[in-house]
Structure 1
């Protein structure tokens, strides 16, 4: 079976979606012909390890030494300055899309007449729905919660997604919301993310370290975590908070840390491509997001045997964390409750934290790459059978 995953840029830093795709592709490639399709490429080496043996097909190579010259180059520059007609301006990456990317996407999609094409980012999902040939199984998966998608994006989904074979969400809550707006015109199903395969040692939970990780943006809520940490620090000054990631909110967080006199105990560690190793040095992981698509980072922490504390934000944490069994859930926006939960976990006997971590590790293993990949394969076969093709 030929399976293609189309992404914005598989060479960039990306985030949770790229992590999910890399793991899924690596597992599927053991049994199928799989290809990664990168709409853009801007660097020679990928920031994260790409699945070994899986080819990457780049549609637009923006590396300086790959830019065309002469008349071809002028035509490309002109088209690149014109806004996309395929992808709505409300798409988060809209500034990257143009008439040139429209042309390349159209040319690529029209070349496909078999197999499966999967898109996992909103602009490319809309383009796939509009352009994929009816003989190709077309699937889109949403990785952000329903509530954060602008009305323009939802309207484009309602208009174009009936041409998809299947639209997937990560949670039942979002599936119900999308079914309401699609009014029976789109096949909606739930497909959770798998746990990344982290071949590293588990945390022994002995270090007095609490960790958070993600883009330093408002939605990730690290300002809330720092505010909570100011209360935790008063009761446990020997513990340290480490926040990994970068983003435009870094200066604001630095000021907040200084104003709360937390320098030295709350540290912004910057971006790392070795997050699993850093998680294995921690004893508690905290997710402070205002909103999540799924909260994949919770599964990453659990796979390292690290117990978690999370806001019960939309959507995902409630689908992952069982309160009191493998972590703690606290009401969204309640910073005092977040601080109390962190303190409670700190004050647990070491064996108590180990029990939470072990339960989380078991949950992560139950959602392994192999188990989730098998569900994807079942979906592919069902859709190929519906199209009258014989699955292989």
Structure 2
């Protein structure tokens, strides 16, 4: 089976990249022909490990010095070249402005994607964000079977993106989503297209389990409003007087770092809450912890939560749209609280901080639940979809 994955930037370190690499590696290990294509390239090598049997290529190499120099010529030739460069650097024609990756596209990059898509005539193509799904629906019409993968709920997208989805997603052969709510929402706007739920896989289930004895709570994600760390910090303030020997460690980088640091200072939590920055050893940090907290305002399928569960960590989470409730049963693997309710989040953290036995009980259940998200289990669900789409 020939399978292609199209990513915006396969050389970065985002959750979508990691899960696609996990998919690609599992498919290659099963003997399939796998090709990962990166729209842009800004690094010499991928951040995540890719199986040597997986082919990796890019459409626009943006590394310093990668662009060929403009050849000298007549004044008219230079004028034409400058005009062509200005057009190429203009905004894309088909990617909606509200798409979160819009800034990565210009006319030249969009045309490179369209040209590549137009040349496909066989196998399966999995595109991995709205911009690429929309371009695939419009231009990959030469015989390749097109699956658009959605990592966010429809309601989270900007209005222009939702309008484009309603217009073009029905032309895809299938849409793969991460949660049950996503499946219902995308079915409502793409009634003629098959919509199936296939969760992302954790990268490994062979992890060091937590003892749930250390007095450390962990959160992780980009330091942006979506992740709700501005809600988590005041929630931790509410419990720290009762549990002064506990720490909250927040891993990640982002544009809200200064504001979050100020919030820590404001609540006098500088000895209890730590912005840990980026780490290449999150698995080790999760193994040291006893509690994982998800404070997001919205999610697709929260992969870092699943990674925490693979270490046998109990979870406290907002029941945000979407994802946590698809994985967690309240009172089984952890505790779900109403979205944005800081007091409820604090109370749930306090309940688990006070009871090591309950943490261990929930952690054991988390480890059992996460088995359904192994690379092999998720690979088999993808293969079932591909086989059902074959002519």
TM-score bracket for this pair, using the shorter chain length: over 0.9
Query: Within the alignment, does 1:375 sit opposite 2:374 as a pair?
Result: no
Unaligned regions of 5+ residues in structure 2, if any?
73-80
Question: Contact (CA 8 Å) 1:195, 1:365: kept in 2 or not?
Answer: no
CA pair 210-76 structure 1, distance change in 2 beyond 3 A: farther
1:12 equivalent in structure 2: 12
| Corresponding residue to 2:324 among 305, 317, 338 | 317
| Corresponding residue to 1:185 among 181, 189, 192 | 192
Question: Contact (CA 8 Å) 1:40, 1:59: kept in 2 or not?
Answer: yes
Listed as ranges, the matches of 1:1-392 within 5 Å are 1-14=1-14, 16-30=15-29, 31-71=31-71, 77-182=85-190, 184-348=191-355, 350-384=356-390, 388=391
SS at match of 2:241: helix
Aligned-CA RMSD value: 1.6
TM-score, with structure 2 as normaliser? 0.94
Question: 1:128: Cα distance to partner?
Answer: 1.0
Question: Contact (CA 8 Å) 2:205, 2:371: kept in 1 or not?
Answer: no
State the number of aligned residues: 382
Question: Contact (CA 8 Å) 2:205, 2:374: kept in 1 or not?
Answer: no
CA pair 80-202 structure 1, distance change in 2 beyond 3 A: farther
The 2-side partners of 1:204 and 1:7 are apart by 37
Question: Contact (CA 8 Å) 1:298, 1:320: kept in 2 or not?
Answer: no
Question: 1:45: Cα distance to partner?
Answer: 2.5
The 2-side partners of 1:74 and 1:373 are apart by 47
The 1-side partners of 2:16 and 2:254 are apart by 17
The 2-side partners of 1:13 and 1:172 are apart by 27
SS at match of 1:66: coil
Stretch of structure 1 that moved more, 168-177 or 234-243: 168-177
Question: 1:76: Cα distance to partner?
Answer: 7.2
Stretch of structure 1 that moved more, 94-103 or 113-122: 94-103
TM-score, with structure 1 as normaliser? 0.94
CA pair 57-218 structure 1, distance change in 2 beyond 3 A: same
Question: Contact (CA 8 Å) 2:223, 2:253: kept in 1 or not?
Answer: yes
The 1-side partners of 2:122 and 2:71 are apart by 34
Encode CA deviations 1:72-96: one digit per residue, 9 max, x unaligned: 9867743441111121111111121
